[in-house]
Amino acid sequence: MCGRFAITLPNDAMARLFQAVPANDLPDVPNYNVCPTTQIHAVSRDADGQRRLGAMRWGFVPHWYKSPTDGPLLINARAESIAGKPAFRAAARERRCLIPASGFYEWSKDEQGNRYPWYFSRTDGAPMVFAGVWQVWDRGEAPLTTCAIVTCDANKVAGKVHHRMPVILEEADWGKWLGEEGRGAALLMKPAGEDVLRGHRVSRAVNSNRAHGPELIEEIED
């Protein structure tokens, strides 16, 4: 799964990277501890085919929920079942998005049940881009745009810590995931190559959703 991540790229740099029109209410950056239910950056296509960089609530809300907390918190969508799940199947066909990050956190567990956080980033130092799906929930006082990160089996690097990881898209595949280049998006929902990721242990300070500083991604000794 993916339950926390970091984003350090400035908003204007993100807009240029994705060739997207930025919204006026983008979340503050940098944020080294992005948590579920907060507003995150996401790139989607509007009705005219223009890419838009906007803010979405991390935590997908299906249209039948009576409130955002009416059911399970859906921060991840499993690649293996996304096309058949009632919550996600329409979004998987019609409402896919790109979710930029600098890296993500995962936790290992020892024999005593103690959990230790790890931080994974790209080996080439480039921004990381997750595959996402989005949904507008409109049963409240105001429409709420929500999203989930698509996950898949972990590759060998991430698999040393956890059996799942986010689907990481390469730049050449961004257009296909957004539906700009015809069909084939389903083929992108696979683990990143073994040479794409690197990971290291970090402080347990990241366990607190109140911690947001750059020290959270610094490597510590095992």
Q: Is 106 a catalytic residue?
A: yes
Q: 55 near 27, Cβ under 8 Å? A: yes
Within a 10 A sphere around the Cβ of 132, how many other Cβ atoms?
29
**Cα-based distances in Å from 168 to 36, 131, 150, 154:** 18, 6, 9, 11
From 2, 35, 97, 147, the catalytic residue: 2
Q: Is 35 a catalytic residue?
A: no
From 97, 106, 147, 152, the catalytic residue: 106
Q: Is 39 helix (H, G, I), strand (E, B) or coil?
A: strand
For residue 198, count CB atoms less than 10 angstroms from its CB and return exposed for 0-12, middle for 13-18, buried for 19 or more: middle
Q: Which active-site residues does the annotation give?
A: 2, 106
